[in-house]
């Protein structure tokens, strides 16, 4: 079997899909994208695919190493996202070739279903108590929200108080049985992150995410020593080599590799297994499309330390297009009591509605994250 062709589809709301075709008629789908840089990642996919045309798609480890190691410059969000989507598509082909879901080829499932959480509140969190109650009424056992708007290095305690009021209102609305992930989104710098973590402890969050940017590991250390809340990060790390110092530090309790950013199925399986050796949990990052989510679930199925999965159904980014719009077997992402069954169809387990993909690719998108500024005109972390 040989790879004979590929196509890229830039589709709303902010995704990039890849279709790889073989001479035996088996096709695989991947999702190579970095949010806000879809066209840039697409260019990297084009460069990588030049080396894969005519090759056997089943030799995934060889192709992964070729893409990663053959270039003098490696790693980073663009190249690793391109590798990720290609890797997903190759696994999709391999699963279909062997008539088995990807998790069977990775050693088999260690669970039948995966816990998922629902996003609430938007970029600038609001109406969170009502949204949390709705999610809880719909069967979700966990939600995640952005903690705060932009914060200066040292900022007003009024902004801290507003975060506390929002989280308190959620606890009042649904009690203590709902898990609450609170995403600092890298918007908070060390001085205020220490304050915010301390104030949030009373509400027993499921975790706080990116309390500071992951490159500031020394600040993560300080925060970890002053709070009992589990600390999560990793969506802006792109390989096992990026995760290595994080795991060695011992300051992080939950890692969040993204299956469309951190080297795909091949690499993220290794990253999550590395974390297990440090008794660290995994909650893969996935505010993306159906191919990325299916890839996550295939890896989650095989990883003992994966305990919850992000998913983007109804997330504030998905205006006019959502994950179910692009697949025919919509039941594959049916959430029951806050869990989703591991997909069992061959490959990634999703049947892409190619006709709809092609139609929406005509519309395309040019999504970029907003640029925020502080009152003084300086750039704020989004």
Q: Which of 285, 304, 316, 365 is catalytic?
A: 285
Is 185 catalytic? The answer is yes
14 close to 38: Cβ distance less than 8 angstroms: yes
110 close to 118: Cβ distance less than 8 angstroms: no
- Sign of torsion, CA 31 34 35 37? negative
DSSP 8-state class, residue 338: T
On the question of a cis peptide bond just before residue 77, with omega within 30 degrees of 0, the verdict is no
User: Please, how many CA atoms are within 13 Å of residue 26, restricted to the half-sphere of its CB?
Assistant: 20
Q: H or E stretch including 233?
A: strand 231-233
Tokens of residue 121, six digits: 């509140």
What are the distances in angstroms from CA 183 to CA 226, 256, 382?
A: 18, 12, 12
Q: Tell the residue number behind the tokens 């011992």, with chain if given.
A: 250
Helix axes 217-224, 240-249, angle to 10 degrees: 30
Q: Which of 63, 136, 185, 261 is catalytic?
A: 185
Is 374 catalytic? The answer is no
251 close to 232: Cβ distance less than 8 angstroms: no
Q: Classify 342 as helix, strand or coil.
A: coil
Cα 325 from Cα 28, distance rounded (Å): 18
Q: Which residues are CB-neighbours of 375 under 8 A, at least 6 positions away? A: none
Helices (H), the chain: 38-50, 60-69, 77-97, 102-105, 128-137, 157-174, 190-200, 217-224, 240-249, 264-276, 290-300, 354-363
Catalytic residue set: 185, 285
């Amino acid at each position: 079997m040989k790879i004979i062709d590929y196509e890229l589809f830039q589709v709303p709301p902010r995704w990039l899909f890849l279709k790889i075709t073989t001479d035996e008629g088996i096709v695989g789908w991947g999702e190579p994208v970095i949010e806000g840089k879809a066209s840039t990642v697409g260019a990297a996919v084009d460069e990588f695919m030049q080396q894969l045309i005519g090759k056997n798609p089943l030799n995934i480890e060889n192709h992964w190493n070729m893409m990663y190691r053959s270039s003098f410059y490696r790693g980073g969000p663009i190249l690793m996202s391109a590798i990720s989507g290609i890797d997903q598509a190759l696994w999709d082909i391999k699963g279909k070739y062997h008539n088995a879901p990807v998790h069977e080829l990775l050693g088999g499932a260690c669970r039948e279903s995966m816990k998922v959480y629902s996003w609430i509140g938007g970029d600038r969190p609001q109406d969170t108590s009502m949204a949390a109650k709705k999610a809880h009424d719909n069967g979700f056992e966990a939600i995640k929200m952005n903690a705060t708007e932009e914060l200066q290095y040292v900022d007003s305690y009024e902004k801290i108080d507003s975060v506390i009021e929002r989280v308190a209102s959620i606890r009042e609305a649904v009690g203590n049985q709902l898990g609450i992930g609170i995403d600092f989104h890298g918007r908070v710098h060390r001085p205020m992150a220490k304050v915010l973590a301390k104030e949030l402890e009373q509400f027993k969050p499921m975790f706080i995410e990116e309390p500071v940017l992951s490159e500031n590991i020394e600040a993560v250390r300080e925060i970890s020593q002053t709070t009992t809340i589990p600390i999560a990060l990793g969506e802006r790390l792109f390989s096992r080599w990026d995760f290595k110092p994080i795991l060695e530090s011992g300051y992080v309790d939950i890692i969040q590799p993204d299956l469309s950013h951190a080297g795909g199925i091949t690499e993220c399986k290794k990253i999550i297994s590395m974390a297990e050796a440090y008794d660290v949990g995994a909650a893969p990052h996935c505010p993306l499309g159906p191919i990325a989510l299916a890839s996550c679930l295939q890896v989650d199925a095989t990883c003992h330390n994966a305990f919850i999965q992000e998913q983007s159904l109804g997330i504030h980014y998905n205006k006019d297009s959502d994950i179910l719009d692009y697949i025919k077997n919509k039941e594959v992402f049916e959430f029951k009591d806050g869990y989703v069954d591991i997909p069992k169809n061959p490959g990634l387990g999703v049947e892409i509605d190619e006709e709809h993909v092609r139609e929406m690719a005509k519309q395309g998108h040019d999504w970029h994250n907003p640029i925020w500024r502080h009152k003084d005109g300086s750039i704020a972390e989004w």
